[in-house]
Structure 1
């Protein structure tokens, strides 16, 4: 049986979010509803404590600006591509599921990479394996090898961008640039479904 731990300040702080959600669910914005939500959130934080994370890394503000700009560009480009697909008179899609091995070993980089890939329209991570560091992506309209290579390249670029912002230098250097990786790779193993 799991032993209950004494609540920490972080658990009390994270209890505020469920308290706000509690108020929105009830549609009542008064002190009594907030306090009952705070009690509910505190009980949740004590009974179901989150595991401790080892946050190894750094934050580079100048690369974060580049990261945001490139992400916004990717969002606009992918949205325009989806719009063009939707406006075609006859829609024929050839989707693929591709396997992407990640190079970074930190959970923070993997999580942010998955979030970034899912944020951009047209690709969805259907499976992420933390033990093997492999992502399986469903890619919209990627029926030929050229489209799959493009999706593979974008996923690798996303990992590199995230690592450049958040990972320690030695982790960032593990993620190869696409050009160097493409020269070494003769065959990419993916399955079309």
Structure 2
């Protein structure tokens, strides 16, 4: 029963989100637009398999702020590194496909991790196996196994921080994973 309520709540959340986008596209809120939007959302759910919005049981503000600061820092550092390599020797920058075994089973955490990774210069999500929580990331510059391992560790650090910040029902047990030495 709890799973059914969670599914209904997630689908309702996605429906509200779609209705909000519909209203923004029309640029007004009146009875006809709202009713039309509800009809469109119902049709969309009827003809397609729209995902549910993953639920968050709680957001921890301090770990969330740390994760946000880490993202900003990684964004700045990766921009400098990619810029340096692009100016110094653009034809010699090598990349690699790196597989990362994620710990999380939460769609929300995995989605947030993959978005965070893809927004950073030099990294891009190229594959995601939801069932096994396996991420395939193209990263650059990667000149050897040590740099590939470092990039994998960075993705896993991001995931652990997000798991502590966004507690979801599927990760509730794992959310209190203690930080590693380098994360402290």
**TM-score, reference length from structure 2:** 0.73
**2:160/2:177 contact within 8 Å kept:** no
Alignment of 1:28-177 (within 5 A): 35=33, 38=37, 40=40, 43-45=43-45, 47-48=47-48, 50-53=50-53, 55=55, 57-89=57-89, 91-167=91-167, 170-173=173-176, 177=180
1:102-147 CA distance string (max 9 Å, x none): 1122222212111111121111111111111111111112121221
- Taking a change above 3 Å as real, the CA distance of residues 93 and 169 of structure 1, as seen in their structure-2 partners, is same
- Taking a change above 3 Å as real, the CA distance of residues 43 and 173 of structure 1, as seen in their structure-2 partners, is same
- Taking a change above 3 Å as real, the CA distance of residues 13 and 88 of structure 1, as seen in their structure-2 partners, is closer
The aligned length equals 166
Deviation at 1:166, TM superposition (A): 0.8
Point out where structure 2 has 5 or more consecutive residues left out of the alignment: 1-10
**1:19/1:37 contact within 8 Å kept:** no
**1:97/1:136 contact within 8 Å kept:** yes
Greater RCO, 1 or 2 (C-alpha within 8 Å, sep 6+) = 2
- Taking a change above 3 Å as real, the CA distance of residues 82 and 46 of structure 1, as seen in their structure-2 partners, is same
Match of 1:171, SS?
A: coil
**2:101/2:133 contact within 8 Å kept:** yes
Bigger radius of gyration: 1
